[in-house]
Structure 1
Amino acid sequence: MATIRDVALHAGVSVTTVSHVVNDTRHVSLEGRTRVEAAIRALGYVPSAVARSLKSNTTRTLGMLTPNSSNPYFAEIVRVVEDRCFAAGYTLILCNTEDESSRQSVYLKVLAERRIDGLIVVSTGDDEALVSQLRGLPMPTVLLDREIDDPGCDLVETAHRDGGLLAVRHLLSLGHRRIACIGGPEHVSAGEQRIEGWRLALSESGAASDAGAMLWRGGFTSQGGYEAMHAILRGAHRPSAVFVCNDLMAIGALRALHESGLRVPDDISIVGFDDIELAAYTCPPLTTVAQPKHLIGALAVDMLLERVDGRRREMRKLVLQPELRVRASTARFTPQSP
């Protein structure tokens, strides 16, 4: 592999001159610049990103931690983040934590050692070690989607509780009163806020007398929703509607209902959360609470670059409003014949 000394020797100039051409740090005559650039092409020289970052104190690289790269919701946001970073002249290092706090901790250390300029984090959940790690990082950080206690960094997320309210108020408006909920793991703040919205909507309507017995949990996966729905159907009193706290679990729930011979929405109505692209292509198309994914990803990058570039010092918290997407998985409640 060619070195900067090889380029200097080939071009007949000093190493310092090559460095100035590569880093554009000082005027070099047209003749000298032409010879250096020709030598770079001839030798296939690639400047050391590490050496350049040490000189400039910047790597033009951002990092992002996501909890589950197989979840289309996060994949859709990552696509926006990566496009936004690329357009701004930054590359993105993506790390998937698989919702494991130990893996999250390791990746944070690795990214810090890579001297990235900024970091976007979707946390694994209520991890006390994460707070202290984030406080010790030398680069600006933006939390996305999931809050943590006292993070000391920027945050952009959806109003998850309001989304739960939207979903359950929609079901209530259709005449449903026995509305179950399939929530996510207990340690994830976004999921807990959605469940809170479910409880509040039931309380407002006076339909919350047995709400505690109507809550099941899954792992924010299709398998989790599938197993939770089968558990619901084994119960003594079947609900007429179910609010499912993410679309992947809702897809699993639809499969369980189909296997059980129940029709959606004739026998039971389903509402999801996220509005992933697949939600419009389920059978039937899924009514769901839409998170503004494109705006979330774009704002996360913009907020981060404001801090990286020194244009802002104070912390910001942006909470965006969700919207209900009514499709064919919900219908007016019809009492079943005995």
Structure 2
Amino acid sequence: MRQKTAGIQDVARLSGVSTATVSRALSHPERVAESTREAVLRAVQETGYVANSLARNLRRRRTGSILALVPNLANPFFSQILSGLSSVLSPAGYGLLIADTLADPDPRARLAHYFDSGLVDGLVVFDATLPDPALMQRAHPPLLMACEWRGELPSVTVDNAEGAAIAIRHLLESGHRRIAHVTGPRGNVLTESRLQGAAGALAEAGLALHDDWTFTGDFGIASGAQAAARWLALADRPTAVFCASDEMACGFMGALQQAGIAVPGEVSVIGFDDIEVAGHLTPALTTIRQPRRDIGERAAHLLVDMIDQRSLMGPSERIAVELIRRQSVKSPG
């Protein structure tokens, strides 16, 4: 005899709640009490209930997919953010698609394709250099910026200027007055915000960010190594360097160590991001931690709410950063 397939009513009966509560617990687990959520999950496991997501999405006129547009998937910075996104989207019934914006020769056409095709229910955009949807004059699904930001679009970011200021203040408190900065690419919102925060913290101490001690990078390891070559070529070398990303700090430290320069013995180095490798370098990298998994989780929650409300506008959130003290900073010799 063919066994009956478990339905949502079976889950509701076994867990002692309504079918609406079951649906809420599975699609928005953060909105129900922990005890209720656990009871529903136990009932799902016991009954073997599998939500018919395809039928549900057809009824709701949804695809069940969210697209993340990421500039450079090879950058380890994004790993925990994408994990945070997936941890919220999956229980809510959404699959996560990922595209690398740097690998696309025509991002405007690609973005228009996603807007016009109806292939996704929402987008999380990590690249502020992409065309503004409003300027493209196209209808688009709910869209949220993460890490980077633009205009009035809803976003989840950290306080980049304050993070840079915290890094500079830490160097100042360690006794440094000759401080260099390795920036990100010109025109990038993260670059400008971190540069502003660093310059502001130096100004508070009556100091300035010298042009000769400001090295332009691109957030990548190679540009950090190139900045190290410029630091080595200086006749008057700064005693500390604030790198606007951990990857650049890694490249900077590695190039100096290959040249026989001791870190932090001859120069202190501080980064920004706290990627996984930062704590495993020699010396371990002092840095500004972005709570990357939290960024992904909050972005997912906000985007799902926008989709549920069928709204193109939503709130923005700014998440605090944290100084992580390790061994790459010491008082100047």
Q: What's the secondary structure of 1:181's corresponding residue? A: strand
1:62–1:90 Cα contact (<8 Å) kept: yes
Q: Which amino acid aligns with 2:142?
A: P
1:145–1:157 Cα contact (<8 Å) kept: yes
C-alpha distance in 2 between matches for 1:233 and 1:194: 24
Corresponding residue for 2:329?
Answer: 330
Change (3 A) 1:123 1:99: farther
C-alpha distance in 1 between matches for 2:203 and 2:155: 30
2:286–2:325 Cα contact (<8 Å) kept: yes
Corresponding residue for 1:138?
Answer: 140
Corresponding residue for 2:277?
Answer: 278
Corresponding residue for 2:111?
Answer: 108
1:155-206 Cα deviation digits (max 9, x unpaired)? 1100000000000000000110110000010121012111111111111111
Q: Which amino acid aligns with 2:132?
A: L
Q: Which amino acid aligns with 2:111?
A: L
Offset at residue 133 of structure 1 (A): 5.5
Q: Which amino acid aligns with 1:72?
A: P
User: Could you list the runs of 5+ residues in structure 2 that have no partner in the other structure?
Assistant: 9-51
C-alpha distance in 2 between matches for 1:193 and 1:139: 28
C-alpha distance in 2 between matches for 1:135 and 1:309: 23
Is 1:175 aligned to 2:179, yes or no?
Answer: no
Offset at residue 213 of structure 1 (A): 2.3
Percent identity, please: 32
Q: Which amino acid aligns with 1:244?
A: C
Choose the corresponding residue for 2:70, options 61, 66, 77.
66
Corresponding residue for 2:229?
Answer: 230
Is 1:306 aligned to 2:308, yes or no?
Answer: no
Q: Which region of structure 1 is more displaced relative to structure 2, 210-219 or 277-286?
A: 210-219
Q: Which amino acid aligns with 1:144?
A: A
Is 1:197 aligned to 2:197, yes or no?
Answer: yes
Q: What's the secondary structure of 2:77's corresponding residue? A: helix
Matches within 5 A, 1:90-129: 90-98=94-102, 102-112=105-115, 113-125=117-129, 129=131
C-alpha distance in 1 between matches for 2:190 and 2:227: 19
C-alpha distance in 2 between matches for 1:135 and 1:240: 50
Offset at residue 313 of structure 1 (A): 6.9
Q: Which amino acid aligns with 1:298?
A: E
Q: Which region of structure 1 is more displaced relative to structure 2, 115-124 or 62-71?
A: 115-124
Corresponding residue for 1:214?
Answer: 213
Corresponding residue for 2:268?
Answer: 269
2:183–2:243 Cα contact (<8 Å) kept: yes
C-alpha distance in 2 between matches for 1:291 and 1:168: 16
1:123-145 Cα deviation digits (max 9, x unpaired)? 153x5x33436763431111001
C-alpha distance in 2 between matches for 1:172 and 1:264: 17
Q: Which amino acid aligns with 1:153?
A: L
Q: CA RMSD in A?
A: 2.5
C-alpha distance in 2 between matches for 1:237 and 1:66: 39
2:242–2:271 Cα contact (<8 Å) kept: yes
TM-score by length of structure 2 reads 0.79
Aligned residues: 285
